[in-house]
């Protein structure tokens, strides 16, 4: 483990470096946004290790840290897919493809509604919409739908300005 971790860190840094080298400069923000859900996932791995070592459960956490824990869990679960969706959406916005960004936002809404991304459960399991789910599931889904709607509205406004 002591030998493997530095090698994996080096590979990760090299992949990040190559991502910027292979991308047009105007799309650098899209590459950068990918790190957010991945860092949240990595932080959750660390928190889970600490909690297991200290034999602490979710109920033992203070109310403020429970909120932080839940937010990191939502952000980190499905991190790779979330990162790709966010980068795609931001690239489409940078390129002024608002309708495509709206479609990507709709895909993200559907995926969040079934837990493929932003699962509120610590095991990251999938689920069907229905009773017993935390309200955060519907809040995240609604957020993506509102973003997509905003993109469509902006697309319509841009079309009117161009005519």
Of 109, 95, 93, nearest in space to 152 by CA = 93
How does pLDDT run across 41-96, given as a tens digit for each residue?
Answer: 999 999 999 999 999 999 999 999 999 999 999 999 999 999 999 999 999 999 99
Q: Determine contact, residues 69/47, Cβ cutoff 8 Å.
A: yes
How does pLDDT run across 132-148, given as a tens digit for each residue?
Answer: 899 999 999 999 999 99
Alpha carbon distances (Å) from 62 to 30, 70, 151, 158: 35, 12, 38, 47
User: Would you call 39 exposed, middle or buried from its count of C-beta atoms within 10 A (0-12, 13-18, 19+)?
Assistant: middle
Neighbours of 99 (CB within 10 A): 15
pLDDT category at 9 given cuts 50, 70, 90 is: confident
Q: Determine contact, residues 87/34, Cβ cutoff 8 Å.
A: yes
pLDDT category at 163 given cuts 50, 70, 90 is: very low
- For residue 29, give both structure tokens: 């923000």
pTM above 0.85, yes or no: yes
- For residue 82, give both structure tokens: 């979330």
In whole angstroms, give the CA distance from residue 22 to residue 18: 6
């Amino acid at each position: 483990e002591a030998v493997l971790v530095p090698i994996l860190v080096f590979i990760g840094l090299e992949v990040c470096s190559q991502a910027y080298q292979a991308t047009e400069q105007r799309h650098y923000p899209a590459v950068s946004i990918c790190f957010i859900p991945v860092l949240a996932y990595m932080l959750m791995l660390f928190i889970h290790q600490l909690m297991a070592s200290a034999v602490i459960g979710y109920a033992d956490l203070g109310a403020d840290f429970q909120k932080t824990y839940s937010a990191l869990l939502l952000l980190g679960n499905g991190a790779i897919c979330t990162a790709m969706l966010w980068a795609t959406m931001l690239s489409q916005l940078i390129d002024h493809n608002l309708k495509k960004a709206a479609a990507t936002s709709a895909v993200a809404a559907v995926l969040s509604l079934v837990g493929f991304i932003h699962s509120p459960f610590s095991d990251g399991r999938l689920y069907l919409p229905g009773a017993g789910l935390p309200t955060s599931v519907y809040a995240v889904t609604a957020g993506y739908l509102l973003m997509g709607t905003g993109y469509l509205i902006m697309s319509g406004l841009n079309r009117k300005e161009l005519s």
